[in-house]
Structure 1
Amino acid sequence: MIQLLNPLSFLLVLFIAAVVFFYFFRKQYEEKLIPSNMLWREVMNEWQASPFLKRLQQNLLFWLQILALLLLMFALTQPSFSEDRLKGEHIVFIMDTSATMSADDRDMTRFERAKQEVKDLAKALQGQEVTLIKAGQKPEILLNRENRKRMVLQAIDELQLTYDHENIKKALNLAESVSSQSDTSWYIFSDKLTKDMVKQYDHDIEVHNIGKKLENISLASFGVGQVNGQIHAVAVIDNQTDKEKNIAITIKAEKKSVVTKEVKVEKKDSMVVSFSDLPAKPYYEASLAVNDGYTVDNKAASVYSDPSPKMYAAGEVNPFVIKGFETIGVELIQSDEVRIEKETGIVMMEGAEVGALPNMPAIVFNANERIELTEPLITKQDPIFAYVHPEKMFISHGKKTLVENGLETVLSSGSQPLIQRGILNGQPVIMVNFSIADSDWPLHPDFPVFLYNSYQWLANQSGFLGYFNPGEEKWMHSSSPGHVLGIYNDKDENLDSIDTEKEPMTAPAFPGIYQAVSGEEIFYFSVLLDEREKVPAVAASFTIDEQKGGEKEAGQQYNDSLILILAFLAFLVMAVEWEVYRRGFRT
């Protein structure tokens, strides 16, 4: 199909009209004295025999001038026709694998349609090199300068949604790093990419934004907790449509539906829905009964844990620590290690070896060999340091670290870890690698705040591995023989088994509740949908042609060879006109 890229050039028809207008004022006759009219009669006979040809000859210069002007005018309108071809010798395909690409687009999802379109382009390859980039939270190069069409199509078929939030900027920078030659074209498949995000890159870029606007209703958040001895749940429903909606929300306790409510949510508004007196279960799920074309944000899950477990102090614990926990209202029980093994709650102990830790959450005050500290304290932002400033305290000596693998260091002096936290032998642990007697921390007003934060963190982690992003990797520990950790979904289907001594655990991609099974122990964890993925926005497709510095709608490439053809024909017509004028072929 032929398109005109500069239709304003049709205004040049005014110049053609001016040429015609000037012809009305040209000199029509020239008076001459002739001796006889015999030749005139001969001319009239020829005129009457072929009048059309004679008129044409009489006005030949006029018609040549009009034709030349018309050809130039059409050339200036920049006519071009579209054709199916891939531009460039190095093709970079960038695929958005985020959660919103799972939204419906007519008879398939946005991601399925994107795969279909990129496969159609790949089939048109004519020996070009192809780089394929998966634009998830951590962009990844799946193919690098591959020129075998079969391998390209296979890699496209194997693409899967990651359900995380796309990091387009990092993916574009990754594409820039592999686009060394000038003859490189990018083909980006997403749903809401805008021109501002790509205009700084010096390449031909074609953006295919897949999808249409959806009437989306989202379960923005969901959580459970204990209030006055009862378990309550709170959900937030976000109506992103332009209409008032009646929405049914159902709560499941573990796998059994326990309550359903129908609420009315105003257009472009949110509503908080609360539930009370729920049965005690390890986890809860909320779901919306809506058909909005985007299902992944219609469900949410929350893991329940005892908010106020008992704390057991085993062995000799610094009295400042005991007094601190009593100050924040924790039920503290002095006990020995034998009795603790039969209890549930949180244990606090000093001088314990790793192998001697009980099978329960613990705060361990390391009593190993002392090490003098000479470097300043370095603090990492962490929940246990909320409203706490540990870098302001003085610590003279640290302790030789008991555990170096699996615990995250949140306070250190140089390379010496001072406070660590994480999962050890399947249980949450906070390790304090210095003696409270070697510091002035108990004299600081934020010391009880640290104890409170630590208690809350351990309580929330009991039987709960935490919240994960889709595909997030974390090193875990398993107390089972062989250190095997099995990952199961809510249907008790085994998704993966890992050796925790050799590899990290990778969270599943799809948001929801999962189980990590270590021997006889079951730990729950939740994969959360990114807040930015709860609005399935769309944008228009477009193309940036670097050579022309312009933008047009994405789809097909345009061939502008017609411009050169018309300009060449106009030049030929002007050459003929000059030759006619030179020979004096005028009546």
Structure 2
Amino acid sequence: MGILVPAFFGLSLFIGGLIVFYMFRKQYSEQVISSNLLWEQVMNEWQATKWWKKLQRQLLLLLQILILLLMMLALTRPFFHKEGIDGEHVILLLDTSASMATVIDEEGTTRFEQAKTEMRALLDKRSDEQAVSIIAVGAVPSLVLNREQNERAIMDAVGDISLTYEHSEFQRALSLAKALSQQQSSGIYVFSDRMTEEELAEIDIDGAFHANNIEAAEDDNVSVMTFGVNTSGDQGAAIVTLKNESSAQQEVTLQLLADGDRVHTQAVSLEAKEEAYINVEDLPAAVYYTARLAEKDSYPLDNAAYAFSSSTTKPVLYLIGEVNPFLHKVFIHLGHDVIQAEKLSDINEFAADSIIVITTGGDEQADQVLAAGRPFLLLASGEEEAYPLEASLETKNTDELFAYTDVAEIYISQGRGQPFEKAGLADAVMKSGDVPLVQKGLADGQSFVQLLFDLQDSDWPLHASFPIFIYNTLDYLQGEAAHLGYFTPKEQRALQLDTAGEYSVVDETGMVIDTFDGDSELFQAPEKPGLYYLADSDDQRKYFAVTLDDREKQTVAEATFSMYGNEAAPTTNVVRSEWWLWLLFAAFVILIVEWEVYRRGIRT
């Protein structure tokens, strides 16, 4: 404890002055009276009075002295020291990924809720001079507060952050935190379950860095890793992958549902860390299927997975012009009917369920493709201008075109051509640095996929992932009548809908959670994983599933750690906490009491 301005103790002279004032208050003169019998009675009563009753004669003086004393002490600004937090600028990073929904105790507290509690406890240690910035870490980091010092605003901001259920990209968030920490000494605090020292390798942190990874109390998570259904006619077959993340044997009950009705139940025993594959035959035909675990564990988000029935008819493929022979063989192997033609004008009428595969041409050809009114796969021509590729290949996370494919080992020597100019909406789903190599989107209401490289310039056709990519591409171009496929949390995508107008977004329980205008270009999926459907005014439904990123299907927390950049490990930071406001408040309360005493006439 200490005093900031001890000079104000000199105001104690006013207390002495008050006492002197009372000493010179009005005096009574001596008078000769005929009898003192009455005065003796008064003196006897005074001597018999309790001591606290006698004190009332000087109560006003004591209260006024106390008021002056408290005000003097407040002016001296007394303080005490308490444990503080590092940095003039405190930067907090809160993980909003799906794994933070893991339950950590019997009361149902999640890692996310515990992280908020620990953030508030940390903020209670800050001094009034320390500014606070808060970053919500999701797929894209969000700066919630920037150098805020108002305590209420800071606490309200912490309470307003919610889970995004995305996979958190900490590299982007740490880069943002480093940029914020440049102007003054800063302390960075991360509240997560996956932060590792390796993620700091590319980020040069000069000041204090603390990663608080919140562990779960129970190690009992079993997850549905993958779920797929192959339908043929009026029957289907499923394969489910279960993984036991715990360090002990687990007994679980697997349930399969077809259009919401349970059609299969199976008990499964999993050894510690075991991954098991379960095959189920003779499933009834349905629009959507659900694989779920009947038991509740600490992480319910990965206890269910969804699959949709595949189309029973394969579209006719119209191959226009020269098409790579490897690609042609893949089409045949996938069981499609293939019709070849030199020019689009050679086709009198396109089949109702068909896809055009064509090499890039001029504007006239583009107009003809759009006029055909069919989805199309646009291939790069070997005659187009080539440009080198210097960066490694990257695909958009969880995009449906690259499901079950790995492009890390394929080679593309150069890119060719330009993105389709007449596309109303396009998204580059594979790039080399900033150079797009595969894009998909809509053009005049029709789906399209464009390859911006010549297959002759790549070894991709020799890899097992190539026919899978072509299968996914044709499935995307064909579309589905009853379902919209899979989305990541809050993913935006253009939809092919049969009718315009307003649609209701309905969750698995039948609750309407949002609305969507069918005339809009982009649909944004809900943030929480689960099964949903779009319903029009006639209650025609199109189902879709919001799925977890595969990296969010594990709940093992990393170890908590601290680093101090280029500095030596500092001593414990101590902050000063002043309490003069409490003294002023006490003086004000006593002033009210003093006035009431005066009003009641308890005075000398």
Fold conserved between structures, TM > 0.5: yes
Deviations 1:382-411 (A, max 9, x none): 75999999978999x999843253364879
Partner of 2:425: 405
Separation in 1, partners of 2:476, 2:516? 24
2:259 touches 2:286 (CA, 8 Å); kept in 1? yes
AA partner of residue 474 (structure 2): L
SS of residue paired to 1:91? strand
Separation in 1, partners of 2:130, 2:331? 71
Classify 1:405/1:519 alpha carbon distance in 2 versus 1 (closer, same or farther; 3 Å): farther
Partner of 1:282: 287
SS of residue paired to 1:402? coil
Whether 2:511 is the aligned partner of 1:511: answer: no
Partner of 2:94: 95
CA drift at 1:371: 13
Unaligned stretches of 5+ residues in structure 1: 1-80, 561-587
Separation in 1, partners of 2:199, 2:406? 35
Query: TM-score with structure 2 length normalisation?
Result: 0.62
AA partner of residue 238 (structure 2): A
1:307 touches 1:456 (CA, 8 Å); kept in 2? no
1:328 touches 1:452 (CA, 8 Å); kept in 2? no
Partner of 1:151: 153
Please identify, of 117-126 and 217-226, the stretch whose mean Cα deviation from structure 2 is larger: 117-126
2:426 touches 2:439 (CA, 8 Å); kept in 1? no
Separation in 2, partners of 1:332, 1:543? 62
Classify 1:427/1:492 alpha carbon distance in 2 versus 1 (closer, same or farther; 3 Å): farther
Partner of 1:273: 278
Partner of 2:113: 112
CA drift at 1:457: 2.2
CA drift at 1:507: 2.9
Whether 2:142 is the aligned partner of 1:122: answer: no
Partner of 1:83: 82
Classify 1:403/1:135 alpha carbon distance in 2 versus 1 (closer, same or farther; 3 Å): closer
SS of residue paired to 2:92? strand
1:301 to 306, 331, 349: 306
Q: Number of aligned residue pairs: give it.
A: 460
Please identify, of 241-250 and 500-509, the stretch whose mean Cα deviation from structure 2 is larger: 500-509
Separation in 2, partners of 1:329, 1:503? 32
Separation in 2, partners of 1:175, 1:292? 35
Separation in 2, partners of 1:95, 1:458? 40
Classify 1:398/1:190 alpha carbon distance in 2 versus 1 (closer, same or farther; 3 Å): closer
Partner of 2:211: 207
Deviations 1:551-586 (A, max 9, x none): 89xxx95689xxxxxxxxxxxxxxxxxxxxxxxxxx
Deviations 1:82-120 (A, max 9, x none): 935344331111101112211112221111111122223
1:311 touches 1:330 (CA, 8 Å); kept in 2? no
Classify 1:460/1:253 alpha carbon distance in 2 versus 1 (closer, same or farther; 3 Å): farther
Separation in 2, partners of 1:263, 1:491? 27
SS of residue paired to 2:301? coil
Separation in 2, partners of 1:543, 1:331? 58
CA drift at 1:523: 4.5
AA partner of residue 486 (structure 2): Y
2:491 to 472, 485, 508: 472
Whether 2:140 is the aligned partner of 1:135: answer: no
1:469 touches 1:527 (CA, 8 Å); kept in 2? yes
Partner of 1:235: 240
2:185 to 183, 202, 210: 183
For 1:432-511, what aligned pairs fall within 5 Å after superposition? Answer: 454=470, 456-459=472-475, 462-463=479-480, 465-476=484-495, 480-481=499-500, 487-498=505-516, 504-511=522-529
Classify 1:498/1:425 alpha carbon distance in 2 versus 1 (closer, same or farther; 3 Å): farther
For 1:311-322, what aligned pairs fall within 5 Å after superposition? Answer: 311=316, 313=318, 317-318=320-321
SS of residue paired to 1:403? coil
1:94 touches 1:188 (CA, 8 Å); kept in 2? yes
AA partner of residue 457 (structure 1): T
Partner of 1:291: 296
Partner of 2:61: none
2:137 touches 2:170 (CA, 8 Å); kept in 1? yes
Deviations 1:428-448 (A, max 9, x none): 4346899xxxx997xx9959x
2:104 touches 2:215 (CA, 8 Å); kept in 1? yes
CA drift at 1:158: 1.2
Separation in 2, partners of 1:329, 1:172? 45
1:309 touches 1:459 (CA, 8 Å); kept in 2? no
For 1:300-379, what aligned pairs fall within 5 Å after superposition? Answer: 300-306=305-311, 309-311=314-316, 313=318, 317-318=320-321, 327-328=332-333, 330-332=335-337, 340-341=351-352, 344=353, 346=355, 353=368, 356-358=371-373, 361-363=375-377, 373-376=384-387
SS of residue paired to 2:425? coil
Classify 1:320/1:196 alpha carbon distance in 2 versus 1 (closer, same or farther; 3 Å): closer
Please identify, of 376-385 and 174-183, the stretch whose mean Cα deviation from structure 2 is larger: 376-385
SS of residue paired to 1:422? strand
CA drift at 1:286: 0.9
Partner of 2:553: 534
1:193 touches 1:539 (CA, 8 Å); kept in 2? yes
Classify 1:494/1:357 alpha carbon distance in 2 versus 1 (closer, same or farther; 3 Å): farther
AA partner of residue 508 (structure 1): P
CA drift at 1:265: 1.4
Classify 1:353/1:92 alpha carbon distance in 2 versus 1 (closer, same or farther; 3 Å): same
Partner of 1:173: 175
CA drift at 1:233: 0.9
Classify 1:380/1:177 alpha carbon distance in 2 versus 1 (closer, same or farther; 3 Å): closer
CA drift at 1:524: 4.0
Separation in 2, partners of 1:517, 1:202? 53
How much identity, in percent, do the aligned residues show? 25
Classify 1:228/1:136 alpha carbon distance in 2 versus 1 (closer, same or farther; 3 Å): same
Separation in 1, partners of 2:444, 2:537? 11
Separation in 1, partners of 2:418, 2:271? 58
SS of residue paired to 1:166? coil
Separation in 2, partners of 1:557, 1:488? 51
Unaligned stretches of 5+ residues in structure 2: 1-79, 340-345, 360-364, 396-400, 577-604
1:247 to 239, 246, 252: 252
Classify 1:283/1:423 alpha carbon distance in 2 versus 1 (closer, same or farther; 3 Å): farther
Partner of 1:42: none
AA partner of residue 102 (structure 1): A
Classify 1:138/1:433 alpha carbon distance in 2 versus 1 (closer, same or farther; 3 Å): closer
SS of residue paired to 2:545? strand
AA partner of residue 206 (structure 1): H
CA drift at 1:290: 2.4
Classify 1:408/1:478 alpha carbon distance in 2 versus 1 (closer, same or farther; 3 Å): farther
SS of residue paired to 1:292? coil
Separation in 2, partners of 1:241, 1:349? 51
CA drift at 1:260: 0.9
Partner of 1:78: none
Please identify, of 269-278 and 499-508, the stretch whose mean Cα deviation from structure 2 is larger: 499-508
2:288 touches 2:307 (CA, 8 Å); kept in 1? yes
Query: TM-score with structure 1 length normalisation?
Result: 0.63
Q: CA RMSD in A?
A: 4.9
CA drift at 1:134: 0.9
CA drift at 1:321: 8.8
AA partner of residue 210 (structure 1): I
AA partner of residue 138 (structure 2): G
CA drift at 1:543: 4.4
Separation in 1, partners of 2:258, 2:506? 18
Partner of 1:225: 230
Separation in 1, partners of 2:300, 2:536? 32
1:386 touches 1:453 (CA, 8 Å); kept in 2? no
